């Protein structure tokens, strides 16, 4: 199961703190052209363009294969050249950072570690309680589909109870033969700590024989904004769990009209002013993967899940919830974006709204491929530093 990500923030405590001079030297006079070599303990003792060599003498920066070859206060950059450390560079001691400090393995201004707070996403589960959910899972598995699905969902929502704002809406409402009625509001509004309320709803209102499958109708309510209110400051998702194709047709609609209508509602949600993306999970043998895939593509999650038993259903639910782990973080204050450096597992992350990060007020958002890396493992670490204010003499 995925857990909350580890995130470290480092922030400036003193605006008078200064970075190393741009020419790279200060404490030492450098070796000069033809002069005696200057002794050093770090590159910041040397002149511009020099590093502190293995012998403890300033020398011209050279090509390298590892950080060790560049001496204290410098590192081997991706192009294979020794480079003087700057804000966000890796380090093992303060001496390697000049007038900055080595904070949690990265150069930055004097600071402290503060608790990182991920902004929990809204995730509303749309649970099919149609008549076919009272059937056996398959010809070889006599377990009742509803029982298996509710047990799997219970396990997963408990795992993510503190890291997501979970909500729940079963469809249809009521127990009338051919029933296609849906509720305008969610049975459980999305909130942190909602697992017990969701379990209670599943226990009190199981699937009922004769119920239809009003997938279009429940998604129409979601798109109308009556089911829950999406939040601009967090990510928003619907999680559709169904064992069958939609069966509640508006007058005159064909099966294809019905599926196209569902795609349109899901696309409306995904492209709204506050986007709500939709995951699609099928359970059992009564729902075609092609239909689920159409829903996933329209909902901008792109990959549907078809499951046949308890194990595969739980795995799919767990994977989807892992994908919804937040990539939005609260900053302690409104930081100057020009002073911020972000590292993901020690690798720099660019200020890029597609695959890097962006800062919006007191929120830092990680996007695209960088967000995918964060979500791929609970061991991933995000380091966010703000550099010292430069003092010009």
Give the least confident one: 115-119, 278-282, 319-323.
115-119
Ordered DSSP codes for 169-230: EEES-S--TT-----SS-SEEEETT-HHHHHHHHHHS---TT----HHHHHHHHHHT-S---
> Rounded to the nearest 10 degrees, what angle do helices 289-298 and 255-270 cross at?
30
Residue-wise pLDDT for 326-376, tens only, equals 888 887 776 777 777 788 887 888 999 999 999 888 888 999 999 988 888
One domain, residues 221 and 305? yes
CA 370 to the chain's CA centroid: 9
* Residue 357 covered by a domain: no
One domain, residues 181 and 51? no
Provide the whole-model pTM: 0.71
CA 288 to the chain's CA centroid: 29
One domain, residues 26 and 70? yes
CATH number at residue 206: 3.40.50.410
pLDDT(168) > 60: yes
pLDDT(6) > 60: no
Whole-angstrom distance, CA of residue 335 vs CA of residue 324: 26
Which pLDDT does position 112 carry in this prediction? 40
* DSSP three-state, residue 62: coil
* Residue 341 covered by a domain: no
**Spatial contact of 74 and 48, defined as CB atoms under 8 Å apart:** no
Residue-wise pLDDT for 19-72, tens only, equals 333 443 333 334 444 457 889 988 888 888 899 988 889 998 889 988 888 888
One domain, residues 126 and 247? yes
* Residue 28 covered by a domain: yes
> What is the extent of the structural domain holding 128?
120-323
Q: What is the number of structural domains in the chain?
A: 2
pLDDT(74) > 60: yes
One domain, residues 142 and 30? no
* Residue 328 covered by a domain: no
Torsion sign, CA atoms 371, 119, 183, 312? positive
Q: Which residue, of 301, 323, 345, is where some domain finishes?
A: 323
* Residue 277 covered by a domain: yes
Residue with tokens 């990060």: 357
* Residue 3 covered by a domain: no
Burial call 290-318: b when 16+ CB within 10 Å, e when fewer:
ebbbbbbbbbebeebbbbebbeebbebbb
pLDDT(17) > 60: no
* Residue 54 covered by a domain: yes
* DSSP three-state, residue 92: coil
Q: Which residue, of 323, 342, 370, is where some domain finishes?
A: 323
* Residue 249 covered by a domain: yes
pLDDT(198) > 50: yes
One domain, residues 234 and 291? yes
Residue-wise pLDDT for 102-111, tens only, equals 776 777 764 4
């Amino acid at each position: 199961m995925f857990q909350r990500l580890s995130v470290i923030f480092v922030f400036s405590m003193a605006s008078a703190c200064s970075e190393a001079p741009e020419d790279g030297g200060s404490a030492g006079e450098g070796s000069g052209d033809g002069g005696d070599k200057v002794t050093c303990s770090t590159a910041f003792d040397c002149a511009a363009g020099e590093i502190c060599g293995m012998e403890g003498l300033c020398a011209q920066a050279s090509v390298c294969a590892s950080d060790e070859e560049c001496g204290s206060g410098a590192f081997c950059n991706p192009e294979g050249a020794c480079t003087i450390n700057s804000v966000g560079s890796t380090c093992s001691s303060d001496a390697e950072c000049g007038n900055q400090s080595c904070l949690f393995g990265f150069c930055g201004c004097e600071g402290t570690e503060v608790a990182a707070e991920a902004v929990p996403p809204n995730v509303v589960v749309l649970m099919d309680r149609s008549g076919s959910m009272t059937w056996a899972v398959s010809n070889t598995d006599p377990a009742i589909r509803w029982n298996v699905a509710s047990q799997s969902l219970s396990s997963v929502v408990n795992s993510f109870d503190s890291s997501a704002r979970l909500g729940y809406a079963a469809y249809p409402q009521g127990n009338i033969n051919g029933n296609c009625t849906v509720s305008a509001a969610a049975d459980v509004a999305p909130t942190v700590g909602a697992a017990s309320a969701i379990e209670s709803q599943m226990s009190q209102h199981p699937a009922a024989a004769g119920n239809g499958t009003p997938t279009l109708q429940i998604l129409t309510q979601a798109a109308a904004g009556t089911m829950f209110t999406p939040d601009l400051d967090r990510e928003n998702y619907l999680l559709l769990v169904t064992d069958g194709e939609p069966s509640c047709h508006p007058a005159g609609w064909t099966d294809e009209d019905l599926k196209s209508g569902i795609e349109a509602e899901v696309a409306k949600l995904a492209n709204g002013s506050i986007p709500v993306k939709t995951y699609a999970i099928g359970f059992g043998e009564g729902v075609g993967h092609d239909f689920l895939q159409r829903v996933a593509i329209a909902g901008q999650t792109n990959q549907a899940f078809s499951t046949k038993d308890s194990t595969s259903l739980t795995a799919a639910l767990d994977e989807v919830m892992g994908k919804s782990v937040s990539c939005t973080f609260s900053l302690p204050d409104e930081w100057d974006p020009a002073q911020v450096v972000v590292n993901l597992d020690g690798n720099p992350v660019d200020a890029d709204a597609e695959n890097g990060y962006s800062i919006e007020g007191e929120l830092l958002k990680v996007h695209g491929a960088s967000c995918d890396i964060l979500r791929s493992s609970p061991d991933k670490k995000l380091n966010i530093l703000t550099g010292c204010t430069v003092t010009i003499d």
